[in-house]
A = this chain, B = another copy of it.
Amino acid sequence: MSNPILVEVLRGNHVESVHSGAIAVADARGKLLLALGDVERSIYPRSAVKALQALPLIESGAADLYGLDAEGLALACASHSGEPRHIATVTRMLAGAGLDASALRCGAHWPLHQPSAQALARSGGTAGAIHNNCSGKHAGFLCVACAIGADREHYVDPNHAVQRMVRAAIEQLTGAPLTSDDCAVDGCSAPTWALPLVSLARGFARFATGMGLTPDRARAAARLREACAAHPWHVAGTGRFCTAIMERFGTRYFIKTGAEGVYCAALPEHGLGVALKCDDGAGRAGEVMMAATLLRLSRSISEQEQLEPFTQVMLRNRNGIAVGEVRPTQLLSVW
């Protein structure tokens, strides 16, 4: 029933906390190349599938109609930190479709990037929907709604034309049927459909390679991957794991986090997709699981040297003193 412990958190001489989870690495036909834990169990992909949710933005013609540049496409795939340049890009995306932030239905929260949140407060501002880490995805949804002439009020309803397009894209890529029983409400109010981890990995292998996709869809996927590789800061932000990995590896590793410890990756050169979830939802463990998986798949010493620091993360306290570390357990490190 339980997944294996894959990550441990050390303090002093003792393991203080542990994280279990499951990891699936699959090819575009759904063949499992590597697996740890129960990869058949369904999980909610949350924000880890934003790049799949952004396919209709290109396929509908909305991206071209409203003149979205690569930064805008990267933001449509992003869980951004709400830094001023993220906000400026979302504002530009919305303006392209003749909209402003009042059209967003994602709900408000303060910028994830603390200095930006503090600067916002200092300037007398307050949290708005545009600061929500999902505002780029929602701006993308709104562009699609405008382009296809659909209602703009209820674009997060699972039965809305935009969400039906999103669902069809995820179903086609992952090969998993998405039923209303498997549909839940995400933090930003968009639908999130539970599906098996192995299907999610397969979806990202197809996203990585275009295999099994129509030429139009394969081109749309490539365009999104290239936008994220060119603008990794737009996909997350300052000091964030997704940004750091994509800054180092460009188009070779597309990676994306989701809430509750989910990570997905698309590896075009390997022809593989990765999907993983930390059972307890901890992002710190999901990052180490993803770094260790990429290390396992890496093909050169220099790649390994770049990845290793992300598999063993030093913990520092409020005075900057090294107090422990987050690292893979033996099961994951000798995988």
A97 to B20, CA, bound (A): 47
> For chain A residues 81-132, which have a beta carbon within 8 Å of chain B?
105-110, 114, 117-119, 121-122, 124, 132
Interface code A6-26, partner B: CB below 8 Å = 1, 0 otherwise?
000101111011111000000
From known contacts A189-B317, A318-B132, A318-B187, infer whether A12 and B182 are also in contact, taking CB-CB under 8 Å.
yes
CA distance A88 to B192 in the complex (A): 45
Complex: chain B residue closest to A42, CB-CB = B14
Q: Which residues of B contact A181 (CB under 8 A)?
A: 13
The answer to whether B323 and A260 have CB atoms under 8 Å apart is no
Choose one: B185, B279, B319; the contact of A321 (CB below 8 Å).
B185
The range of chain A's interface size is 35 or more
A326 vs chain B, min Cβ distance (A)? 10
Known A-B contacts A280-B19, A282-B280, A324-B184; the reply to A194 vs B318 at CB < 8 A is: no
A188 at interface, CB cutoff 8 A: yes
Given A132-B318, A185-B12, A318-B189, A279–B18 Cβ distance below 8 Å? yes
- Is the CB of A281 closer than 8 A to any CB of chain B? yes
Instruction: With A122-B121, A122-B122, A282-B281 as known contacts, state yes or no: A260 contacts B17, CB within 8 Å.
Output: yes
* Cα–Cα, bound, A20→B2 (Å): 10
Say whether B182 contacts A14, CB under 8 Å: yes
State the Cβ distance, A24 to closest chain B Cβ, in Å. Answer: 17
Option from B121, B186, B319 in Cβ contact (under 8 Å) with A317: B186
Q: Does A44 contact B (CB under 8 A)?
A: yes
Using A118-B121, A188-B318, A319-B105 as known contacts, say yes or no to A44 and B16 having CB atoms under 8 A apart: yes
Specify the chain B residue showing the minimal Cβ separation from A18: B279
Give the chain B neighbours of A143 by CB distance below 8 A.
Answer: none
Chain B residue with minimal CB distance to A280? B280
Write the residues of chain A forming the contact surface with B, with a CB cutoff of 8 angstroms.
Answer: 1-2, 5, 9, 11-14, 16-20, 42-44, 105-110, 114, 117-119, 121-122, 124, 132, 181-189, 192, 194, 260-261, 279-282, 285, 317-321, 323-324
Could you pull out 16 A-B pairs where Cβ atoms are within 8 angstroms?
Answer: A12-B44, A12-B185, A14-B42, A14-B194, A16-B260, A16-B281, A17-B280, A108-B318, A110-B118, A119-B121, A122-B124, A184-B324, A186-B317, A186-B323, A187-B317, A187-B318
With A11-B192, A185-B317, A189-B319 known, 18 other A-B pairs at CB within 8 A are A11-B44, A12-B44, A12-B183, A12-B184, A13-B184, A14-B42, A14-B182, A14-B184, A16-B184, A17-B260, A17-B261, A18-B279, A19-B280, A107-B320, A110-B118, A121-B122, A189-B318, A280-B280
